[in-house]
Structure 1
Amino acid sequence: MVLLDSRAGIHDIAAIAIMRLSSLSLLFANDNPHTWAGYRMLFDQWRQLPASLRDDLRQRLKMVAAMVPSASAPERLERFRDHAQQCFAETLYDDTCPDDDEAFNFGPDDENAPHFPLPILFAHDLVGIDRASVLDWHEQPFIKAAYDRFLPEAGALAVEEQA
């Protein structure tokens, strides 16, 4: 599994790791125009790959909505999902008609779609946490709340990929 955090931009080495080394690539992102512009450029490059490489690659992707403010999480996750779906639709999803079951294309609300995000919620207590001085840091309520949906869903995807 490859975890890619694109908040600081996407480096060529990250793109190679996704293409060649992983069976599952989690693409971490914040919902902002810079993120989607970066992913759009990367996906546009992948669209130029031979069909067999492109088809294999795009089946191994899953978006992660990182640092989502918990107070407005449902609205922000919906907006993230819509922006991710638009990015995928413009680049990696097949143009298709509704009855084409063979096409690589997903509706906006399809939880199995690569664009449908796994969420990680943001809590101010996460900033600067000193794991060395708080031995049970992973048991803290704010940690559990932040990763409540992400860990089981990412774990299930990783296990699925290993099978």
Structure 2
Amino acid sequence: MIEQMTVTPAWTQDFEGDVYVVPAHGSDPGEYLAKLGRVYMDTTNEPWTTRLERLLNRLETHCDPTVVLLESRNGLHDIAAATVTHLDAEILLFAIDSASNWTDYNILFRHWQTHGLASKIRERLSIVSALTPELDTEQYLYRFQEQAWDLFRDNLYDNVDPSNESGTEFSFALDADPAPHNPLPIHWTRGLASGASLRNLETTTVEQAYAEFLRRFDQLFKVDNRGETR
């Protein structure tokens, strides 16, 4: 069953490595919405997050991947929150510099604080500047970093007394690098915004959008140029 759950996209045929995708449903979705509603239900024996973790472990045994990317449900949702808090994984928080976006993350971070989760997951968080504009990029990223720093400082970073630092506090200055609030940028490009098929994307278009993000990602998660974790 596990080997039937993964597919290799056609657009990866020229890659040096392999990409395996586990789609949300097969070529015939059937009663997809009904199944989607049931999959998140806890049973008398275990919560759905435990079943998810077991599935991921079996997939990793089968595929032996270097990196696993799990796209959690978007938005402030109990499903996304459970996935983030239950799985022992690095967490990328995608954001744009908008008041509503920062308000949403402030609500989420306060929820983690209230329920005693902040200290357990804060070291696994990294924020991503999604849709970084092509104009005034430097000013945008600085403004984004300031907003992210305010968010982390007010909710997740330790309050540090400069005269009594022990060196063990979880706290970062505004310009610290690396730091959870220092954004990994994904750049907006016309090629990607046009909605072209992944098969037809030019290499230069992908590099413009993701080169800096991937470089920072590799440094942050210690992936070398051969795609192996260190």
Which bracket does the TM-score occupy, shorter chain normalised?
0.7 to 0.9
Rg (Cα) greater in structure: 2
- 1:157 maps to 220
Shift of 1:159: 3.8
- 2:191 maps to 125
- 1:39 maps to 105
Gaps of 5+ in 1: none
Q: Percent identity?
A: 32
Q: Which of the pair has the greater relative contact order for Cα pairs under 8 Å at 6+ separation?
A: 1
How many Å separate the matches in 2 of 1:30 and 1:36? 8
Moved more, 78-87 or 88-97: 88-97
- 2:96 maps to 30
Moved segments of 4+, more than 6 Å: none
- 2:43 maps to none
RMSD, aligned CA: 2.0
Identify the match of residue 115 of structure 2 among 49, 66, 81: 49
Scaled by the length of structure 1, what TM-score is found? 0.84
Shift of 1:157: 2.8
In structure 2, do the counterparts of structure 1 residues 30 and 4 end up closer, same or farther at CA, with 3 Å as the change threshold? Answer: farther
- 1:90 maps to 154
- 2:132 maps to 68
Gaps of 5+ in 2: 1-68, 224-228
For the 8 Å contact 2:73–2:79, the answer to whether it is kept is no
Aligned residues: 154
Scaled by the length of structure 2, what TM-score is found? 0.61
Q: Which has the higher strand share?
A: 1
- 1:109 maps to 175
Shift of 1:3: 5.1
For the 8 Å contact 1:82–1:108, the answer to whether it is kept is yes
